[in-house]
Chains A and B, each alone.
Chain A
Amino acid sequence: MLEYYIGMTKGAGSLAIVSVKDLTFTYPGNSEPTLAHISLDLPAGEWITIIGPNGSGKSTLARLIDGLLPINSGEIYVDNIPVKEENLHAIHQRIGFVFQNPDNQFVGTTVADDVAFGLENHQVSHEDMPFRIKQALNDVDMVPYAKKEPAYLSGGQKQRVAIAGALSLRPKVLIFDEATSMLDPEGRQKVLKLLAHLKVKKGFTILAISHDPSEAVLGDKVILLDHSHLVAYGPTNQIMGDSELLMKHRLGLPFTTQLKEQLQENGITVPKEYQSEEQMMTWLNQQLSSKK
């Protein structure tokens, strides 16, 4: 079923921050597995997006990596630590998890209290907390809101606080489970910009789950799941440019891929790889000027 696999060879442990080996998972009471024989490595410092239709097991995979669900069969390593009951505390410290609903992950009564929640759990000393809270809020540009209650914040601001909560624990991997899907366009843009910043400037590995093709094109690599199987794993420009693959798995096409699809119907040969809107514009310009 695997159509692409341009990941890293199994066992190339030193560069992979997360490594999944022959993972199969069935929810209790289900007869069909939600994930079947998944093996993949997430290279450190990259932004990887998981795409796939509803019920393809995207969230389940993310939760298994963070040890939020018990593994049935197979193995997962995070930062070379096996994800197991006795290591969960260490795993939760290494992975920052941001969920979909901004309200349902806000634990504290104020912004600062919410960021402190994770620090309290990991027994960071009282004296160190103010600095780490301020640092984390500074990273997400929310310092002026430190004393605000969640009722005063927009969805995007709450999500940024959730990211600050994750950052305060100084993790290595950040997982975003459709973290922008409940936000308005402005809040979403800000959060996405923040992700790019965290990846480039701070060197985090980002694993994002998304429904939106315009978000999937922002990362370095794309994982495509469908019917509990790993269908494709490769560079973003290869997978997001492949309209045939995306349509076969009932996924939306990014704007430029749609455009190319229609150009092709009109008999125009187009490059196979995904192009960003700027790249597409340059290419179109070249085409138009060469026609003259």
Chain B
Amino acid sequence: MNSKVFFGLYVPTNSILHRLDPRMKIIACFWYVVIVFLANNVLTNVLLGLFLLFLIWLSKVSLKMYWQGIKPLMWVILLTAAVQLFFSTGGQPIWQWHFLNITSLGIIQSIYLIFRFAFIITISTVLTVTTTTLQLAAGIESLLKPLSYLKVPVSQLAMMLSIALRFIPTIMDEIQTIMDAQRARGMDFSAGNLFQRAKRLVPVMIPLFVSSFKRADDLALAMEARGYQPGAPRTAYRQLRWHMNDNWAFLTYVVLTVALIVLRQI
């Protein structure tokens, strides 16, 4: 049951990062991704790397968890780095074969690329291990609020997001039940090639769609009975609070950005 409820990577260690406002953490994550692209030399990359290690240390989550985040994307990283390595030009040519060549600049660029990837994946892992999906949704809603002035139905979108999150475990259970029912009728989901296996999921997906529509219908009725009117003003039970620590986190980011810009010039 745990895996279904805590989908995602949230690790409840209650560190200082866990207690930060989700809005701060989302902004910080985005901003870090932006400044990763400003890093252009050894010093700036070392700075970003050390900062990331500092965050990992603060999060009290084991390095293994972060490695789990990078591992599935290892092939994508290596492939992109290889493309960069073999196709980039400039610097000292070292090796050449038909259209493939390795240059000194290419080597440096692809090493930077690997680091960039690792940094981006790890910072998003920092966000997801320290923030529950519920907080993430609340943070996103709050950050998108200005869009409601442009007639974007932010609160309705947020309601949809939170209901979607709420129903993931329920739908997972449903899939299990339907698959068991099909297995009882002699279906084998594991045999055959990829295409055959995908085809066998059709008798799972159709009942799932039917029951999901039924659920949606029931849910809409229940929500109406409890006074929900789309677009009507509502009060909020969960309110995000901006604490002193969030100010400190913000300041840290300003310092980091200034330091990065200075080190770029060297």
| Segment touching B, from A8-16, A122-130, A217-225 | A122-130
| Chain B 100-125 per-residue mask, 1 if CB under 8 angstroms from chain A, else 0 | 00000000000000000000000000
The DSSP consensus for interface residues of chain B is helix
B218 with A113: CB separation less than 8 A: no
A105 with B227: CB separation less than 8 A: no
| Chain A 119-149 per-residue mask, 1 if CB under 8 angstroms from chain B, else 0 | 1111111100100010000000000000001
B227 with A121: CB separation less than 8 A: yes
Q: How far is the CB of B51 from chain A (nearest CB, A)?
A: 32
| Segment touching B, from A92-100, A240-248, A251-259, A263-271 | A92-100
| Segment touching A, from B27-35, B160-168, B180-188, B198-206 | B160-168
A97 with B237: CB separation less than 8 A: no
B134 with A109: CB separation less than 8 A: yes
Closest-by-CB residue of A relative to B238 is A113
A107 with B227: CB separation less than 8 A: no
Q: Is the CB of A150 closer than 8 A to any CB of chain B?
A: yes
Closest-by-CB residue of A relative to B227 is A121
User: Contacting B225 at CB < 8 Å: which of A66, A120, A123, A133?
Assistant: A66
Q: Is the CB of A89 closer than 8 A to any CB of chain B?
A: yes
Instruction: Give Cα A113 to B1, complex, Å.
Output: 20
Q: How far is the CB of A136 from chain B (nearest CB, A)?
A: 12
A150 with B166: CB separation less than 8 A: yes
A109 with B225: CB separation less than 8 A: no
B234 with A109: CB separation less than 8 A: no
B226 with A117: CB separation less than 8 A: yes
Closest-by-CB residue of A relative to B132 is A109
Number of chain B interface residues as a range? 20 to 34
Q: How far is the CB of B241 from chain A (nearest CB, A)?
A: 11
Q: Is the CB of B71 closer than 8 A to any CB of chain A?
A: no
B222 with A97: CB separation less than 8 A: yes
A105 with B222: CB separation less than 8 A: yes
Q: Is the CB of B190 closer than 8 A to any CB of chain A?
A: no
Instruction: Give Cα A125 to B233, complex, Å.
Output: 12
- Contacting residues, chain A, for B225 (C-beta < 8 A): 66, 68, 92, 95, 97, 99
A108 with B166: CB separation less than 8 A: yes
Instruction: Mark out the residues of chain A between 134 and 170 whose CB falls within 8 Å of any chain B CB in the assembled complex.
Output: 149-152, 165-166, 169
| Chain A 42-73 per-residue mask, 1 if CB under 8 angstroms from chain B, else 0 | 00000000000000000000010010100000
Instruction: Give Cα A151 to B235, complex, Å.
Output: 26
Q: Is the CB of A76 closer than 8 A to any CB of chain B?
A: no
A106 with B166: CB separation less than 8 A: yes
Instruction: Give Cα A105 to B224, complex, Å.
Output: 10
Instruction: Give Cα A99 to B236, complex, Å.
Output: 25
A119 with B218: CB separation less than 8 A: no
B235 with A120: CB separation less than 8 A: yes
Closest-by-CB residue of B relative to A175 is B225
B170 with A119: CB separation less than 8 A: no
Instruction: Give Cα A95 to B233, complex, Å.
Output: 21
- Contacting residues, chain A, for B163 (C-beta < 8 A): 107
B226 with A124: CB separation less than 8 A: no
B237 with A107: CB separation less than 8 A: no
Q: How far is the CB of A271 from chain B (nearest CB, A)?
A: 41
Q: How far is the CB of B135 from chain A (nearest CB, A)?
A: 11
Instruction: Mark out the residues of chain B between 125 and 167 whose CB falls within 8 Å of any chain A CB in the assembled complex.
Output: 134, 162-163, 165-166
Instruction: Give Cα A152 to B4, complex, Å.
Output: 11
Q: Which of B215, B219, B222 has the most chain A CB atoms closer than 10 A to its own CB?
A: B222
Instruction: Give Cα A133 to B225, complex, Å.
Output: 18
A residues neighboring B (CB under 8 Å): 63, 66, 68, 89, 92-93, 95, 97, 99, 101, 103-110, 112-113, 116-126, 129, 133, 149-152, 165-166, 169
Q: Which 8 A-B pairs have the closest CB atoms?
A: A116-B237, A104-B218, A105-B222, A121-B227, A97-B225, A118-B226, A151-B169, A92-B227
B residues neighboring A (CB under 8 Å): 1, 4-5, 134, 162-163, 165-166, 169-170, 173, 214-215, 218-219, 221-229, 232-239
Known: A120-B234, A123-B234. 17 other contacts (CB 8 A): A89-B229, A92-B224, A92-B226, A97-B226, A99-B222, A104-B215, A107-B223, A109-B165, A113-B237, A117-B228, A118-B227, A121-B226, A121-B234, A124-B235, A149-B169, A151-B169, A166-B226
